[in-house]
Amino acid sequence: GQNIDQPTEMTATEGAIVQINCTYQTSGFNGLFWYQQHAGEAPTFLSYNVLDGLEEKGRFSSFLSRSKGYSYLLLKELQMKDSASYLCVGRENTGFQKLVFGTGTRLLVSP
Amino acid sequence: DVKVTQSSRYLVKRTGEKVFLECVQDMDHENMFWYRQDPGLGLRLIYFSYDVKMKEKGDIPEGYSVSREKKERFSLILESASTNQTSMYLCASTANNEQFFGPGTRLTVL
C-alpha cells in the first residue's frame, strides 16, 4: 500500500509564492497527482507527474522525485481564490491503479 | 466537458433506513468509484467498479454495497444507515490520468 504525508495547513499572502510538499511511501508507484478542493466542493484535477522533473501549467507547477519519494506543488502569484485544500494523491502500480489520497493541505491566502 | 452528477447534494436520513446514493457519468468511462471524505482522514475508497456488473471492495466497504447495472450509473447503498456513516460521499469516474469527481452528497444520519 501507500502512505502520503503533507502539511495540514499553510498560510501565505496574496501575490506571493508557496510550495506545498508531499512525501509518499509506496509498494508500487504509478504516478502522483495534485488536486484542489474548495470547501464544500469536489476535488478538481491540477497536475499529474509520473516521471522525475517539473511540470508547469500556468501559475501552478508540480515536481516529482521518485528516488526520494517526494513531490511538491508550487503556486505563484497567489490569489485569494487559491485558498483551498490541496490534495497529494498517489497511484498504485496495481492492475486497477488505485488512488491513495493524502489528508490535504489547507492553504489560506490573506490580503 | 466530462460531467459526473450525483442525485442529491444534501441528504438527511434516520438510523436504520436504507439509503441509495446515485451517480451518473456521461463520458462512457469504464471505471467508477465511491469515496467518503471525513475531516482529518482524506478521501477513503469504499467500492469501485471497472465494468458493468463488476465491483470490487475498496478500503472501507463495511456497511455499504454497490450496484452497476448500466455503464453510466454506479449506485452506493447503505443497507441500514448508522450515525457513523454521516459523511461527505464523492463519486468519481476515470479516464486516462484523471479522475473526475461529482459534486458530492453530504449525508447526515440522525
Q: What mean pLDDT is predicted for residues A72-85? A: 97
Residue keyed to cell 501549467: A57
- Test A48 with B100 for CB contact under 8 angstroms: no
The pLDDT confidence band at residue B2, using thresholds 50, 70 and 90, is low
**Does the structure show a pLDDT above 70 at B83?**
yes
Please name the helix (run of DSSP H) or strand (run of DSSP E) that holds residue A87, with its range, or none. Answer: strand A84-91
Q: How far is B69 from chain A (nearest CA, A)?
A: 20
Chain B residues with CB under 8 Å of A33 CB are 97, 99
| CB-based burial, B25-53: b 16+ in 10 Å, e otherwise | beeebebbbbbbbeeeebbbbbbbbbeee
Q: What mean pLDDT is predicted for residues A14-32? A: 90
The 10s digit of each residue's pLDDT in A92-101 is 877 667 788 9
- Test A48 with B98 for CB contact under 8 angstroms: yes
The pLDDT confidence band at residue A3, using thresholds 50, 70 and 90, is confident
Q: Give, in order, the Cα–Cα distances in Å from B81 to each of A58, B73, B76, B108.
A: 44, 22, 12, 10
Angle at B71 between CA B65 and CA B77, to 5 degrees: 15
The 10s digit of each residue's pLDDT in B26-52 is 989 989 999 999 988 889 999 999 999
